Amino acid sequence: MNEEYYRAEISLLNSEIYRLNRQIAEEHKNKSPDKMNPFDNPTEYPEFSGDYSDIMPELDAPDCNIPLDPELTERRKIRRFYSIGGWCLLGQFLISNLLTYVIIYVLRMIISSINTGADIETIFIYMESSSIFASINMLAFMITNISFAFMGMRMARIPKNQLVRTRNFGFGKALQYCLIAFFLWELSAIVAGAIDDIFVQYGYTTDVMDMDGIAVTGTGFAIMTVYTCIIAPITEEIFFRGMLLRVFSRTNQRFAVFATAFFFGLSHHNIPQFVLAFIMGIFLAHITLKHNSIIPAVIVHAFTNTMSTLIPYIEESTGYIFTSMLVLVMALIGFFLLCIFRENNKIPATTPMQSRRGIVIAKSSVMFMIAVIVQILYTISLIIM
């Protein structure tokens, strides 16, 4: 009797399972993929990537299935976004350098015509040590960062108000992120120092930025400080995390995080700052994704640049021991906070479909690859020259 009872129970359970499976199949029969999360990736931030039907309009059709490998039309539309990013990167690099050289040349000619007795080298040293070079540098990069960021957003049809539409962010998180960034800055310095030791053994140096004699006047120092601590964080975040991260995130947020960090590092054209910018770029991209805004990244970026400016003066006024202890305590707190952050916040993973729409297609974009090659070659040329 017990055996018959169990058989009846099993039969009822099988019938219920069959009924539920039929019900689920009927519910999903006419259901299309989520246009904001078409690859069904629970680790991503759907609002950030945008509506995927811009790339694949058939998502609106019933029973639409996204293929594992993108078809030709989808591939072309995805490649277009990588090309937009590559074009903006290349344009920003070329125009900023060209604009800087043109302005320097014109001003040098003007000063030379006014001071006919001064030779070119003397004029150049004067421009370098005064506020002139600092002002030109700030103007050129401010114009190109913002211009190409907005051009890229327009070409990719990204609304400008998405830059600052911040979600779940307050003073507590800002403080936490700033201390994490401070730890990452110290970690980067250690890594960059180790790399430099290796290069020195072969007769090269990784630090190609000689700042001796640059903007030594009061006005020049003030302009450099404003640019480093305010203008650069704002304009660079608008370009890299505001435009480039969104453009590259259309199919694969994980790829976008590392790609933008890589380009952010290359844009500094020296290995120590590449290490810092790459490590920091990953973190800045992550918090931009998390909060759907560049505001957190701007605050953290400004804090890091400000601390790098202030630390030498703190050491000069308070002494090496006090400054070292302060740096150590802040770095340890930052490390502890990073562990907590990483426990609850992971960089988005990649699904098999997304992996076929990330670097695989990016490598097929001519503009994307040109941007990579030009930046790398320029940095190498600065190191070996």
Mean pLDDT over 20-25 rounds to 57
Q: How many helices (H) and strands (E) does the chain have?
A: 16, 0
CA distance 3 to 77: 62
What is the model's pLDDT at position 273?
Answer: 87
Mean pLDDT over 3-8 rounds to 63
Tokens found for residue 236: 């660079």
* Contacts of residue 249, Cβ cutoff 8 Å, sequence gap at least 6: 48, 49, 50, 256, 289
Residue 102: enclosing H or E segment and its boundaries?
Answer: helix 72-114
CA distance 354 to 68: 8
Mean pLDDT over 374-380 rounds to 91
Q: What are phi and psi of 228, to 5 degrees?
A: -65, -45
* Contacts of residue 167, Cβ cutoff 8 Å, sequence gap at least 6: 47, 291, 292, 293
The 10 Å Cβ neighbour count of residue 343 is: 8
Least confident of 59-73, 315-329, 336-350: 59-73
Mean pLDDT over 71-79 rounds to 94
What is the model's pLDDT at position 152?
Answer: 96
Residue 147 confidence (pLDDT) above 90 = yes
Residue 23 confidence (pLDDT) above 70 = no
CA distance 343 to 270: 32
Q: Which residue has the higher pLDDT, 8 or 224?
A: 224
> Do residues 251 and 69 lie in contact, with contact meaning Cβ atoms separated by under 8 Å?
no
* Contacts of residue 236, Cβ cutoff 8 Å, sequence gap at least 6: 145, 264, 267, 301
CA distance 172 to 169: 8
Q: What are phi and psi of 308, to 5 degrees?
A: -65, -30
**Length in residues, the chain:** 385
Arithmetic mean of pLDDT over the chain: 87
Among 47-51, 134-138, 361-365, the range with the most confident prediction by mean pLDDT is 361-365
Residue 213 confidence (pLDDT) above 90 = no
